[in-house]
Each structure stands twice: as C-alpha cells, then as structure tokens.
Amino acid sequence: MSKYDNFELLDQMEDLDGLPPIRNIPNKQLQYRHPKNKVNREIESFDTSLLEERENEFNFSYGASKHEKAWINDSLKDFYQQNWFEDILRLIKGGGKEASVYQCLGNTTTQHKYIAAKVYRPRKFRQLRNDSLYREGRLILDDEGHEIRDDRALHAIQQRTNFGKRLLHTSWIEHEYQTMSLLFKAGADVPEPLASGNNAILMAYIGTDDIPAPTLNTVELDQNGAQRLFEKAIQNVEIMLSNHRIHGDLSAYNILYHEGEIYLIDFPQAIDPRVNRAAFPIFKRDLTRLCEYFQSQGVSCDPAQLAEQLWEKHGYIPNASANASLVETEFEDGL
C-alpha cells in the first residue's frame, strides 16, 4: 500500500511543502505543445481603427465594486479591446479558491454568444495553497506559454521574490489554459478555451442566457442518467490519462451539468503522471471523490479498483508503491 493511500496525507503534503526533494529530478521534462496564442494573433490582425475607438472606454453592465472594477479593468480590458467580448454581464461565481468567473457577451470575433472569463485573484489575496506537490516535473511557463529558462527568473522563483511569485502565478494560469487546450483538442468534455493572458482565461460559457450551468454536486439524477454520466465522466478521465494528464481536483464540484451533459472545469493543478511521483494517489483521490457523488446517485462503483484498472490499462506502473519509493530519496531543488 502506498504511503499516499490515506488522502489526509496528500492534504497534509499540500500544507507542508509538497513532495520531499529528490536528487535526480526526472530529466525528461516534457515539452508542451503550445496552442497558437490567440491573443497575440488577434493583436497582429487587429483593426486599429476599432482599437482607437475603444481605447479609452471599458464600461460594462455588471455592477462591480470599485476595487473589483479596477481588477477587472486590469485583467480584461485588453481582451475587450481585442474584441473578444462586448460586455460583462454578471459574476457567475466569485470568492472561489483561485478565481472569479464572469459571464460576458461574446461578439463576432469569438463566434460564441457568451463567453466565460475566469479571472484569477490578485496574488496577494490568493490563498497560498502549497502547490509544489502539483508542480513537480512541470515546466515554468511565461504568459505566452513558453518555458522560462532564464537563470535570473528561475533564481527569483527559487528565492520566492515578488517577481518570482508573479512568474509562478502566471505559470499556474498558463498550465490551466494549455491543459484545457490539449484536452479540448483530444475530444474531452471541457469548455472550449479561447484565450489566455493578463491574469485571465477566456473560454466557452456553459449555461443558458440567464442561468449559468450548475455544478454537478447540486444536481439530482435518475438512475439511468446517473449511470450514463458516470460512464461519460470515466471516458473523460481516460482521455486525460491517454494524454498524460490527471485532473488533480476532480469532483462533482468541478463538473458543470448542462442539458444532460457534463463539462469538466478547473485545471490549474492538473499533473502529468510521467513526471509526478504522487500521481497515482492523486489519481485515486480524484476517482474516489468522483465516485462519491455517483454513488449518492445510485451508481455502484469501486474507486480503488477502478483506479488500479485504468492506471494499468493506460500503461502506467501498476504498483503505486513504485511511485512512493521514489519519494524516499532526497530533494535538492525545490522548484
């Protein structure tokens, strides 16, 4: 049995400093394929007369407080000026762990009637969850999604200077965007990611004109519906595994339900099982939380067994303790 089988241990590791140091960090740090940066593409092909018209005004219908307005202005004005949306209509959900999400009125550029803008909390207000458990083996990405290799920047990150923290914050957002892009292209049920930058991610909005889709934990399903959606959820988990991704915070709270279908959201902490030594226990925790909801809706499932089956099916080391044994070695580099 892996020392991580007890999920409380995983939670404690989030509170401590993630995984203990390892001497030989897997050197197969993987190159992520970066989707063409749509923000930049838009800037290049942008009609400047429109820009001039819009340059100085960014007023929106949503009645934000003064502080929130400044934050929105800082994070979303560029997207507005690049014609990603016409208006901000409402706050879908504020006060989340990491972000507030707004429903915006789309326009011809986006070709979506509405889009959702996930705006990350300013760093100083963020609950500083210890994230090194999830960052092991990851590249550190700049705001264009490229790996940061600059020694000075890496040193700043290691020393946790303000500059370093800002870089990490950006990297966190880019990882969410790249994960969504990868999974959307692979056919997973995730909202289509549209653009990222400036502390925000734009994506397809899920919901009706007036009511954003509820999260699955608030939905009561009939037996057939529950079984069908459970299978759908597992299909999505398998798409993720075959693309070397584990959600890392999967539960009915991070699944939207709309017109009988599900959409997985909230990916900043997603991990790559090839480079993260806690991957299996994190995966098992995901399945356990997912099954908790479906069990409450009458589906019978055994998350521990399912985790092992899927893990092996997708070619990962079947014995979780193989991962755990790595953890016994010492770290030198806390990135």
Ligand X SMILES: Nc1ncnc2c1ncn2[C@@H]1O[C@H](COP(=O)(O)OP(=O)(O)OP(=O)(O)O)[C@@H](O)[C@H]1O
Instruction: Choose which of 41, 90, 97, 149 interacts with ligand X (CB under 6 A).
Output: 97
Please state the φ and ψ torsions of residue 53, each to the nearest 5 degrees.
-60, -40
Residue 179 touches which of ligand X, Mg ion, none (Cβ within 5-8 Å per kind): none
- Shortest Cβ contact with Mg ion: which residue? 266
CA angle 161, 40, 183 (to 5 degrees): 80
Residues 156-195 that bind ligand X (CB under 6 A): 191
Class of residue 154 by CB neighbours under 10 A (exposed 0-12, middle 13-18, buried 19+): middle
Closest CA relative to residue 271, chosen from 26, 38, 23: 26
Residues in the chain, overall count = 335
Distances (CA, A) of 26 to 120, 149, 158, 182, 305: 30, 17, 18, 22, 28
> Which CB atom, from 102 or from 316, has the smaller least distance to ligand X?
102
Query: How many amino acids of this chain bind ligand X (CB under 6 A)?
Result: 22
CA–CA distance, 201 with 215 (Å, rounded to integer): 19
Residue 250 touches which of ligand X, Mg ion, none (Cβ within 5-8 Å per kind): none
Verify binding: residue 202, ligand X, rule CB under 6 A.
no
Instruction: Choose which of 89, 92, 117, 291 interacts with ligand X (CB under 6 A).
Output: 92
Instruction: Choose which of 82, 110, 181, 254 interacts with Mg ion (CB under 5 A).
Output: 254
Verify binding: residue 181, Mg ion, rule CB under 5 A.
no
Residue 29 touches which of ligand X, Mg ion, none (Cβ within 5-8 Å per kind): none
Class of residue 269 by CB neighbours under 10 A (exposed 0-12, middle 13-18, buried 19+): buried
Closest CA relative to residue 248, chosen from 211, 283, 299: 283
> Which CB atom, from 54 or from 93, has the smaller least distance to ligand X?
93
Helices 151-158 and 162-185: crossing angle in degrees, nearest 10, is: 100
Q: Which stretch binds ligand X (CB under 6 A): 130-138, 143-151, 206-214, 310-318?
A: 206-214
Residues 239-258 that bind ligand X (CB under 6 A): 253-254, 256
Binding track over 45-84 against ligand X, x by CB under 6 A: ----------------------------------------
Verify binding: residue 96, ligand X, rule CB under 6 A.
yes
Residues 190 and 183 sit within 8 Å (Cβ to Cβ): yes
Closest CA relative to residue 185, chosen from 39, 35, 37: 35
Instruction: Choose which of 99, 188, 264, 327 interacts with ligand X (CB under 6 A).
Output: 99
| Contacting residues toward ligand X, per CB under 6 A | 92-93, 96-99, 101, 116, 118, 191, 203, 205-207, 212-213, 215, 253-254, 256, 265-266
